[in-house]
Amino acid sequence: MRIQIIIFILLISLRIPVFSGTVSVFHESGPSSIISAIEKASPFDTILIHEGIYKEKNIIINKPLTIIGVNHPVMDGEGKYEILTLKSDSVTVMGLTIRNSANSSIEEYSGIKIYNANHILISDNIMEDCFFGIYLYYCHNVMIKHNSIIAHQTQEQQSGNGIHCWKSDTLQIIANTIHGHRDGIYFEFVTESVIWRNTSADNLRYGLHFMFSHNDTYIGNIFRNNGAGVSVMYTKGVRMFNNFFEENWGDASHGLLLKDISDSYISGNNFIKNTNGIYMEGASRIEMEKNIFRNNGWAFKIQASCMDIKVMHNNFLGNSFDIGTNGSLMLNHFSENYWDKYEGYDLNKDQTGDVPYRPVSLYSMIVEINPPAMILFRSLIVSLMDKSEKVIPSITPENLIDEKPLMKQLAL
């Protein structure tokens, strides 16, 4: 009774009409039992698929239906076929195990593919070793929730994305777990959507990758140990709150890459143990506040092509370098951040340092130009060089400065 109430609430929230009839499918019913049930069902019926292994191929749902798995029945593509294709509005798919789709460098074979459909719910499914886990194409008002999407590929060209969304809007990607794909979550031309409380880890390229996807919000996600962290490109109106970017290591890796984005807000995030916490290039009009940068190689690399970036009320803790840059002119604003490397004083006891802080060290500028210079890290000559640069700045950007560095760490 409880599961029926939950399903009813979900259907109502997605404005999907409540089903009128129920059709049960058993493994013993025959080799085409699921396809036969779909053909016989009336619009808005529910199909209950009972426990077992089903090897039906290219199952197409072309009418409004609710598909519910009982004890996670297995739909196996045997590495040859696409498994489940949705071509109708108002479809729900819950409680299935979908595995072993075909793999191709030409076709986007998927565990679940959704074409040009609205008001879809994909919930509580297990996706195993599918080329693309869930693939959306021209979709609107779709919720993808509480799915486990796992692959075991070792090369990018042999793997698709966990959740792949193209030219869609009003999507809700909620509380999914994604491992071992090329990109965990991929957005291209996706607008007005939310990615909330997902864990995207151990993916070959990016935990999250989105391009030309405006006015989207990302809240409370974990992006851990991915090939190059999270990449945001050619986008405006990004809002990122309370996410974790952790342990993304490599020569060209980062917690968060921001390239050619604008008019965005980044707050309450944690950047922990990344090669670069944030790498920013060609960005403008971005506010960053209340973030924590802890134990990164570079906390924040901001290229000279960025402008009107406001960095305020953040904690910089235990990073090898706080800020890196490739230019001498900075058109950005740093103020009231806590820097654990700050050695100034506060004579008037107003909790801000009386001496401004220059977060770019001379040594970090040298390493930016000549990476092998890292071999001198923590040497005496580097310490002397940085001390002298702070007294008489000559190479580091003169206007990249925090005029009001905080004396105490912010409680974020």
In a domain, 37, yes or no: yes
H/E element, 368: helix 362-369
Facing residues of 172 across strands?
A: 143, 194
CA distances to 51, 221, 243, 350 from 410, rounded to whole Å, are 53, 22, 18, 14
- Asked if residues 218 and 208 have their Cβ atoms less than 8 Å apart, the reply is yes
pTM for this model (two decimals):
0.88
Q: How far apart are CA 119 and CA 111, in angstroms?
A: 19
Range with the lowest mean pLDDT among 7-21, 116-130, 279-293, 369-383? 7-21
- Look up the CATH number of the domain holding residue 294: 2.160.20.10
In a domain, 183, yes or no: yes
Helix/strand/coil for 33: helix
Burial 235-267 (b: 16+ CB within 10 A, else e): bebbebbbbbbbbbbeeebbbbbbbebbbbbbb
In a domain, 407, yes or no: no
Query: How many H-runs (helices) and E-runs (strands) does the chain carry?
Result: 4, 37
**Tens of pLDDT, residues 71-105:** 999 999 998 889 999 999 999 999 999 999 998 87
What value does the mean pLDDT take over residues 369-394?
61
H/E element, 40: helix 33-40
Residue 314 phi, psi (nearest 5): -115, 160
Range with the lowest mean pLDDT among 193-197, 287-291, 309-313, 395-399? 395-399
Domain hosting residue 25, numbered range:
2-391
Residue 125 tokens read as 């499914």
Q: Find tokens 């945001």 and name the residue.
A: 232
Number of domains within the chain:
1
Q: What is the pLDDT of residue 382?
A: 58
Q: What is the pLDDT of residue 30?
A: 63
Sign of the dihedral defined by the CA atoms of residues 121, 126, 127, 133, in that order: positive
pLDDT-based confidence at residue 325 (cuts at 50, 70, 90): confident
Write the single-letter amino acid at 321.
F
- Please list, in sequence order, all residues whose beta carbon lies within 8 angstroms of the beta carbon of residue 174, skipping any fewer than 6 positions away: 143, 144, 145, 146, 194, 196, 197, 198
Residue 293 tokens read as 């940068």
In a domain, 351, yes or no: yes
Q: What is the pLDDT of residue 294?
A: 97
Q: Tell me how far apart the 2 most distant CA atoms of the chain are, in Å.
A: 83
In a domain, 290, yes or no: yes
Sign of the dihedral defined by the CA atoms of residues 198, 137, 98, 229, in that order: negative
Range with the lowest mean pLDDT among 8-12, 27-31, 297-301? 8-12
Q: How far apart are CA 14 and CA 175, in angstroms?
A: 17
Q: What is the pLDDT of residue 292?
A: 98
Whether the pLDDT of residue 18 is over 50: the answer is: no
In a domain, 401, yes or no: no
- Asked if residues 130 and 100 have their Cβ atoms less than 8 Å apart, the reply is yes
**Tens of pLDDT, residues 235-261:** 999 999 999 999 998 777 899 999 999
pLDDT-based confidence at residue 20 (cuts at 50, 70, 90): low
Q: Taking Cα atoms as reference points, which of 114, 106, 180 lies closest to residue 141?
A: 114
**Tens of pLDDT, residues 114-146:** 999 999 999 999 999 999 999 999 999 999 999
Write the single-letter amino acid at 114.
I
Q: Cβ–Cβ contacts within 10 Å for residue 51, how many?
A: 13
Q: Find tokens 């990607």 and name the residue.
A: 173
Mean pLDDT computed over every residue of the chain: 88
Q: What is the pLDDT of residue 192?
A: 97
CA distances to 4, 18, 112, 364 from 11, rounded to whole Å, are 11, 7, 19, 55
Select the more confidently predicted residue: 357 or 27: 357
Range with the lowest mean pLDDT among 21-25, 205-209, 278-282, 288-292? 21-25
pLDDT-based confidence at residue 12 (cuts at 50, 70, 90): very low
In a domain, 264, yes or no: yes
Q: How far apart are CA 61 and CA 89, in angstroms?
A: 10
In a domain, 404, yes or no: no
Q: How far apart are CA 4 and CA 66, in angstroms?
A: 12
Q: How far apart are CA 15 and CA 277, in angstroms?
A: 41
- Asked if residues 182 and 159 have their Cβ atoms less than 8 Å apart, the reply is yes
Q: What is the pLDDT of residue 65?
A: 96
Q: What is the pLDDT of residue 379?
A: 64
Q: What is the pLDDT of residue 17?
A: 46
Write the single-letter amino acid at 149.
I
Q: What is the pLDDT of residue 38?
A: 94
